[in-house]
Amino acid sequence: MNGESDILFVILTSHGSPDGLAVTAGRRPAETLKPSKLAEMLERTGVRHKVVIISACYSGVFIPPLANADTLVITAADASHPSFGCQDKAKWTYFGDAFFNVALRQATTLKDAFVVARSLVLKRELHQGFDPSHPQMAGGANVESLLVARP
């Protein structure tokens, strides 16, 4: 990758907690990926512009250490709420379905897709009687203008 002109996309889906994200790699036992550790890993890539999408309960804990002008962060929940739809045999979480399967197919920007997805998630959560997860989007002022469709 060209560290100055390319955009690194990182998409993580797992179980989350207020401490971070559950990660299993190969035969290693599950560990918690802490927000500060992910921030360090992303910094070491040498890539300036990044988009990080995290679909997990409490994924908003990743916003403070990651979101800045060069890093756009989108999460399925805020730091104090679970997200929903992570269950056996489910193809999508509520946020994953709303964002990737529905909103990105019709929106022209990530911001527009996020707004649509957040609305769809809220509607579904309220219909099912859940406390809203409050998906979040932060940072990325220097990234959004680079995310344009090319013919």
CA distance 43 to 61: 18
Average pLDDT over the chain reads 93
Q: Do 8 and 1 form a contact (C-beta atoms < 8 A)?
A: yes
Q: pLDDT band at residue 150, thresholds of 50, 70 and 90?
A: low
Q: Are 18 and 79 in contact (CB under 8 A)?
A: yes
Where does the pLDDT of residue 149 fall: very low under 50, low under 70, confident under 90, or very high at 90 and above?
Answer: low
| Sequence-ordered list of residues with C-beta below 8 angstroms from that of 122, at least 6 positions apart, any chain | 132
Domains of the chain: 7-146 (3.40.50.1460)
> What is the separation of C-alpha 59 from the centre of its chain, rounded to a whole number of angstroms?
7
Average pLDDT over residues 57-81: 98
Neighbours of 134 (CB within 10 A): 18
